Structure 1
Amino acid sequence: MPSRTKCSSPLSSSSSDDSAQAKRTRVGKPKVRTGCITWIRRVKCDEEKPACSRCTSTGRKCDGYGPRPKRPSPSDDEDDRNLAGVRLVRKRRAINEEATTGAVSLTGAAPTAYPYTTLLRPLMADISGTRTERMYFHRFRDIGEEALGIRHMHSGLFWRQIVPQYCAEVPSVKHAYIAFAAAYMHFHVAAAQRPGVGAAPTEAERFVLEQYSIAMERMSHDCGTLPLRRRYGITMMCCVAFFCIEMLRGDLSQALVHLANGTRMMADLPEDVADILHNPAKWSQGLDTSHVRVAYMVRLLTRWEDSVGHLAADFEPRLTAQAYESRQHEQVAVRARSVEELQDVVDDFCQDVNAFTWMVRRHRSSSENMYWSDPVHRLHYWTLKQRGDNIGVLFSDHYVVHGICYHRSSREYLAMNVGLLRHRVSALTLDLLPFDAAEVLSPLAEAERIQELVAIAERIQAGEGDVVGGNVSHIDVGVVPTLHVAAKHCRDLVTRERLLSLIRQWPRKESLWDGPVMREMMMY
């Protein structure tokens, strides 16, 4: 009888293999919990102390009898995910507590020991203070960017995160911006009548003055012996608030004192603070916002210098003059690919014209002819004139390529016309400063230029009326002061009245400058 060969089907073979595999990979279970830590790694423990002989005799190192690490489980993973945010916040807080000299100011310590010495902290839901103080702090957080922001990529970060952080940690800054919010809501939004000379202040005015005084008194105490960069941050934050408060109260002269103090400090930065501005790579690592804060502050004050220059001809534009010196011979771009690029070109041009005009006025009282006799000054004049002409070509080219497609209620259309208006007024300002009698504008040419300004402003006004919802403040400040310049030089009474009417009825918010105070100051 033939011998039978034992056969197995693929199924049975697979089953036996699976069984063997399962046996080989079975997880070992500890029988007791008194062995050494090494025993967990499947080396039988004889529980001798201080070291297990089963470990040492085989050349292993005994890990001792300390507490064993907890085995992970699915529920542990879920808990880890739920607590991830809390752990991150605690870690950031610990790092910030070790770097308090630079945690929330323009003034952080150099990022050598820690790369995130100026981390943005999670914003606190509230601040310490009375119910009224907390109410106005939250009001500031709601309206800060719209009220004071300028067109800048970091405007939201500055007003929604950085300034509230200062308020939460520095009492003088907190009271300064509470005072600003109260003044803004009372004088600007509610359009309350400002107290006359000698008149008793209202309850709202008393609250503004009280917070304002506390902020000024606390500044020296808050700065104390802090590092220089930290002191600069606190001082500049307060300076901005003080300037805005005085503007809202209608005291232009005192507002200009605060602005002059701020621009003087930023124009003459100490080496430690200047390093933040000139080395963005060093001061922008990770979540460090030091460079953002200094750069935004410079841009904000420069813009205010430009606007104030239309109201106070003797106000020295220190930051603007510094910027002009650095780009006196720059060439204008061949074309602008976007409205934003056009706005940047116009911003620089308007600021440079403001700086140059101030320099001419400064020498006018002594010897204007001597100023124009210098060939360098004549070269600067003609260079600016050429830049103005080139920017005019940029606008024409941009309109042909893009502008014809803009709807009149679109932000691009409005921004393009605001930029065009500001460019035309700055170009007119240059033409009114000729050093050669042959270059003086004729009354007819001047009237035509001003008529163009009126037409541009009316286009903007009509377009604004069609905008539905949304915050259009970043089209940018500048129309109301710009129209004031045109009205000041206009000789035709009918055209001048149209300009003044546009100023009175201007429909949109232009940062702080659209307030009744601004219009009142320009009317008289």
Structure 2
Amino acid sequence: MQVKCDEGRPHCNRCTSTGRKCDGYTTSKSDWWLVWRRPRHLTRGVGGAAESRALQFFCEIAGPFLPGASDPYFWTQLVMQFSSFELVVQHSVIAISALYEQCQTEARPGTGSSDNTLALRHYNAAVAKLKAMENPSLVLLVCILFICIEFLQSNREAAIRHCKHGIAILESSVSTPVWAKEHLKPVFRRLSVFAYFFGSGNAEFPRLVAPDDPIPASFSNFSEARAMMDDIFSRAVRLMRYGEPYRLGHLRHADVPIGLLEEQEKLYRRLDQWQILFADLDGRLTSQNMPATHRLDLGEEYIKSILRLGLSISCEISRILSNTAFSVDETSYDAYLCNFRRVIEQFTSFGAITLDKARTAKRCPKFIFETGFTPMLFCVATKCRDLSIRLAALPLMKLLGVHRENLWEADTAYAVARRVIEIEHAVILNELGQPLGPPLYPGQPPDEMRVRKAWTESEELIHADKFGQRPSGKLVRFYMRTPENTIYHRTEFLTTGGGDKASESSSPLTAPDDCLEVWNRSYEANMQA
């Protein structure tokens, strides 16, 4: 696999970070436009001052933050390059930029309470231009931008429809350009996962893109390791959801189809192979680039530590999900106590570094496009029945979670996880997530006390409580079983209006304090110059 040069001088970071010789781009006539230097000022516009400001804001603020801890190349380079000569992309970027800035300044991002006229006008313009577009690869790129727009507006079903449409195009394309395979296909592979969490029924689940990619002899860099892990994690979550009728539904006592069992066996093998390859890569890169004692250092190594952490924890969670996909009893998770403990130990070590870093960087993004750490910690808090481990996961959700990670909302995830712990251990937790008194089940609770599934309604409601207060929140259905082995659900209203609390978290993705205000002053000064 060729490593793409990022044009740094005298040698690019992409190549040198992997220990390879810098080969640079091999530029053909058809892909000359991929050789690009990040612009500081965009010259072509589709409107007036508001549009120019939105494009500049995306270039300098929104674009770099959208990928979270992932490789920013798609947002900071590929999207920006296309926006300079494809109006449909530029319209989409303006819409994203306007919604992102609104999200950063709202007390409750995603509520749609602010004026978003600029965003909607350009989103509609992009949709109109997309209808006449015949280039499948460009349609795929714009599809990702549309998904981002729907994420920012918390439109769950619309985002899922765009995701299904994009994956259908990928599957039906006879030939996909190299650049699309390298930069768009991985994004859709990761996007397919959120439909498994937020889609209502198997019909909502897009098929996986190229599920049988060959296993390499070795990993050359973290990107290759992530490509394989993205595939594994997506398949593990998909298997978990397709196993739901056999765990919770009308097929609980039926035999699991041989095809699903074979897929489970394939995942076992791929996870084992991935761990071997990743351990080899981690050892090589660690010995080449830094001493073991500095593996969680700040700066560039801090970013690498985020990537390493995400991959390692994705492996642990994938193993748990795939192994329990068809288990009728929730007690099956008890066999993976060591896996859960390793996840929390890694998060705790990383959290200490993040907290120290956050002392000088108080503002963090309120939205990222990629999935961050929230769902991983949510899995630990809701599926590990060791009380000490799950109580350790709760504060880490506040510390390491971004307010919104695509459709994952940190406030909602925290509220649901906290309530699951209270239900299962028959205990009341205080504001810090600690027991107010001794739990009825201090050890692992019996199976009939365990929550099989928690389904959160997407609509935010206002609920009048007995004290006359009107907090915002969501309805959550908790699925459990009776002692007679019958599945039932209980519905509760959970308060999720913790916007202020979320802003106090110390996300691993931090920006200088008051960065938005500083950027505004800088932009205005440049316009007056």
TM (norm. structure 2) is 0.58
- Is 2:54 the counterpart of 1:140? no
Q: Equivalent residues in 2 for 1:24-423 (5 A)?
A: 116-120=29-33, 125-143=43-61, 145-149=63-67, 156=73, 158-187=74-103, 189-194=104-109, 201-203=113-115, 205-220=116-131, 222-223=132-133, 228-229=134-135, 232-269=136-173, 271=174, 275-277=175-177, 291-312=178-199, 314=201, 316-318=204-206, 320=208, 322-324=209-211, 326-327=212-213, 333=217, 339=222, 341-361=224-244, 365=249, 367=251, 372-374=256-258, 376-392=259-275, 402=286, 404=292, 406-409=294-297, 410-411=301-302, 412-423=304-315
- The structure in which a higher percent of residues are strand is 2
Structure 2: state its 5+ residue gaps. Answer: 1-26, 416-455, 457-529
Work out the CA distance in 2 between the residues paired with 1:516 and 1:361.
Answer: 21
CA RMSD, Structure 1 to Structure 2 (Å): 4.1
Work out the CA distance in 2 between the residues paired with 1:170 and 1:399.
Answer: 40
Q: Which amino acid aligns with 2:82?
A: Y
Indicate conservation of the 8 Å contact 1:141/1:164, yes or no: yes
Indicate conservation of the 8 Å contact 1:307/1:478, yes or no: no
Per-residue displacement from partner, 1:21-59 (whole Å, max 9, x unpaired)?
xxxxxxxxxxxxxxxxxxxxxxxxxxxxxxxxxxxxxxx
* Cα offset, 1:241, TM superposition: 2.0
How many corresponding residue pairs? 368
TM (norm. structure 1) is 0.59
Work out the CA distance in 2 between the residues paired with 1:171 and 1:368.
Answer: 52
SS at match of 2:29: coil
Q: Equivalent residues in 2 for 1:469-508 (5 A)?
A: 477-492=371-386, 495-506=389-400
Q: Which amino acid aligns with 1:480?
A: T
- The structure in which a higher percent of residues are helix is 1
* Cα offset, 1:341, TM superposition: 5.0
Q: 1:238 to 1:463 in 2, by over 3 A?
A: same
Aligned to 1:99: none
Indicate conservation of the 8 Å contact 1:150/1:300, yes or no: no
Q: 1:144 to 1:233 in 2, by over 3 A?
A: farther
* Cα offset, 1:298, TM superposition: 1.2
Indicate conservation of the 8 Å contact 1:248/1:517, yes or no: no
* Cα offset, 1:443, TM superposition: 6.0
Aligned to 1:459: 349
Indicate conservation of the 8 Å contact 1:310/1:485, yes or no: no
The structure number with the bigger radius of gyration is: 1
Q: Which amino acid aligns with 2:295?
A: H
Aligned to 1:41: none
Work out the CA distance in 1 between the residues paired with 2:273 and 2:139.
Answer: 40
Work out the CA distance in 1 between the residues paired with 2:165 and 2:407.
Answer: 25
Indicate conservation of the 8 Å contact 2:372/2:405, yes or no: no
* Cα offset, 1:417, TM superposition: 2.5
Q: Which amino acid aligns with 1:255?
A: A
Aligned to 2:424: none
